[in-house]
Amino acid sequence: MAQLLLVEDDAQVRSALTRALTERGHAVTSACAGMPGLTRALEDRPDLVVLDLGLPDLDGCEVLRMLRAVSAVPVIVATARDDEPEIVRALDAGADDYVVKPFSAAHLDARIRAVLRRGR
């Protein structure tokens, strides 16, 4: 279906989401931190980025701002941060959608499809 980039520092979450989204027909590449994620986004040109906020090298909103400066690729923030100021901050930084962990792979896949539909 879509070429996705998953930027997630937790290896177990990254592996589980990669497997689940691949099983749903997506091609998934991943990065474990913000700077490698930015590099992959620019090199691979994915259809959509799934971005965690709690990254080891950069705050996810900073990664999002840097990505927005050079790309219009759709971004879904997928994070455990569920407080309203964080959600507003991510959306203001350029996120196209925001999902709070834990979520099912089916839920994330539905959000991915919805964001990609809006971009057509």
* Helices (runs of H) and strands (runs of E) counted in the chain: 5, 5
User: Rounded to whole angstroms, what are the CA distances from 52 to 5, 13, 79, 120?
Assistant: 11, 10, 5, 24
Average pLDDT over residues 76-90: 97
CATH of the domain at 38: 3.40.50.2300
pLDDT band at 101 (very low <50, low <70, confident <90, very high): very high
CB contact burial 9-28 (16+ within 10 A = b; e otherwise): beeebbeebbebbeebebeb
Q: Which residues form the domain of 96?
A: 3-118
pLDDT band at 119 (very low <50, low <70, confident <90, very high): confident
The tens digit of pLDDT for each residue in 25-76 reads 999 999 999 999 999 999 999 999 999 999 999 999 999 999 999 999 999 9
